[in-house]
Chain A
Amino acid sequence: MLEARSVSVVAGSKRLIDNVSLTITPGRLTAVIGPNGAGKSTLLRVMAGELKPSEGTVFLDDTDLLKVPVARLAARRSVVAQSTTLSFPFTVLEVVMLGATVPGFGIRDSAAADAAREALDAVGLAEFETRMLNELSGGERQRVHIARALCQLATAPPSQAGTAAILLDEPTASLDLKHQCDVLALIKAQAEMGRAVMLVIHDLNLAAAFADEIVLMAAGRIAGKGKPDDLLNEDLLSHTFGCRLRVVSSEDGGRLVLPSAITGKAIMGAAAE
């Protein structure tokens, strides 16, 4: 598992993350939600081993993450950033194959290409391999980067056993509804395959629909965590996000979070009828 113990990140006089403890468990999809500036992305960067915490430690299967050499770490966790831009024109397959360029993996180009094609197939872009990345739509590009992250873990040498983690920072931010669902179903499937998945996401309803556990962050601290049904309550969310929110039950028993302006109108509309 990937575990943060009492982690803080201090920048100047501001505590971006304040004494956060969090466990990302294999086989589960953990969604991190919270308002802008709550420290979600900073926490993800700390969990990825990219940012050194000012206090506290992140452990990967009881080893201090910062003591794991980057090449070995890359075999165990991959990251999909909020937005990745490329400075030069790559084909889709070339981008995904970059996931297999980890020093020490030492796999052949043909093996990397096979793994890359498998990953592209998994994200539903098998037909896109010779297209140029910069000609793709935002949603397609995001799926290419997810394929790259999958390719990275798929090509890791078998000697690197242990927790395999995927960390994603708002992978659905620029996607339409269908692609949001496709991408989250794909991510959920990765968790079901036994990977530890950390997902930073803004859309509370998507988080509720797909996550096994939700972590709510506010002002650098964890304001609550638990199963979607337990965590999504009106008072906690309204207080955390600083606006009036309604939680309504959908017909199939799920929870929906809506701004009260919408529910208010809907209720008034119902009353008028």
Chain B
Amino acid sequence: MTAIDARFAKVAGAVRPARAKVFLALTGLLLLSAILSLAIGPTGVSLQSLPRALAAAAGYAADSSAERDRLVLIDLRLPRTLLAAFVGAALATSGAMMQGLFRNPLADPGLIGVSSGAALAAIATIVLGHGIAAPLIAPLGIYALPIAAFFGGLITTITLVAIAARRGRLAVGTLLLAGIALGALAGSLGGFLAYASDDRDLRDLTLWSMGSLSGASWQKVFAVLPFAAAICLAVPHLVRGLNGFLLGESEAMHLGIDTERTKRITIATTAAAVGAAVAVAGVIGFVGLVAPHVMRLLSGPDHRVVLPGSAILGATLVIVADIIARMAIRPAELPIGIVLALVGAPVFLHLVLRRGIGGGE
């Protein structure tokens, strides 16, 4: 046992496993799932072809099977795996942040309508992108969808906060109910747009409602990079503030935390993360709910552990779900949202019944 290991074990006492071990195990799982995701696919190309694929990518091997391996491994599976990791990490981190900020274990970007708002903006961008809104959207290129989804998520979040704020405090019950209402509203508007769209758009749109990574490309990986960087930059500024919020907003202020700043950064970061995730993969539920709760059970509610841990765990979950999504009924694909709901809903119920999830006093 290392010195750091021993210290953490001493700090948390006997009830928590050492943090270093938890992180080591989580990182191992993430790497394992990423390797599996690269190795498994309906085309049957295995990891043994990786050297040939890399050679082809570098321009050294020109035969058609090497070119095929390059296409499958480098242009399809690698960006897909990276995007799955980003989407999972972004959603899980957002879920953890929202639960901390709203002091509610049920706050999840999907449940309170932020994802629906982001999806509506993305749907509107697709449907209206070559119609009336073309001059507005065309100059943004590949960034149009993530940016639209980001603002969709942000506007939904701000509306929610405006509805739920009472004398400077967020009324959590109101927030959840308003979130459900806003989510339903965004869903119906999205449905209307889908109804009004043509066949080509409709195919794009169906992916949004249940989530899919089948459209993964390097373009999309590059499009989410700035968002991933923004989240990574924001998280260290948030952990202490969110820890204070666990005791309540007044108590956070008493502890010396700039509560308004914490709220603003959390909401902007969540909107950015969810917006970007929805933009590349559609609406994916349960990751934001399950990953943070598993982390809290493992390592306690300290956000210095919960946020990075949820990111790693969320990334792993989505990568694994995506492997199942593309293999279960190959050569066709399941929407990833279905896979995650199938696994996530029972896990969530189990957590609720264990009582550990409600916590509280």
Contact = CB atoms under 8 A, between A and B. Distances in A.
A74 B10 contact: no
A242 interface: no
A73 B256 contact: yes
A103 B359 contact: no
Given A86-B359, A103-B256, 8 more contacts: A70-B258, A81-B248, A81-B254, A85-B248, A85-B361, A88-B359, A90-B300, A113-B10
Interface stretch (B12-20, B157-165, B184-192): B12-20
B255 interface: yes
Which 10 A-B pairs rank lowest in CB-CB distance, beginning with the nearest? A74-B256, A130-B13, A102-B256, A88-B301, A87-B103, A71-B256, A79-B254, A88-B359, A89-B359, A113-B11
Contact of A94 (B7, B251, B254, B301): B301
B359 A98 contact: no
Contacts of B129: none
A98 B247 contact: yes
Interface of B: 7-8, 10-16, 99, 103-105, 240-241, 243-244, 246-248, 250-251, 253-258, 296, 300-302, 356, 359-361
A104 B301 contact: no
A110 to B, nearest CB: 6
9 contacts: A81-B250, A85-B360, A86-B246, A88-B99, A93-B11, A101-B255, A103-B241, A110-B7, A134-B361
Given A85-B360, A85-B361, A91-B15, A74 B301 contact: no
Nearest to A112: B11
A103 B360 contact: no
Contacts of B300: 89-91, 94
A212 B301 CA distance: 40
A99 B240 CA distance: 11
A152 B246 CA distance: 16
Contacts of A97: 11
Contacts of B105: 87-88
A141 to B, nearest CB: 7
B13 A74 contact: no
A93 B13 contact: yes
A84 interface: yes
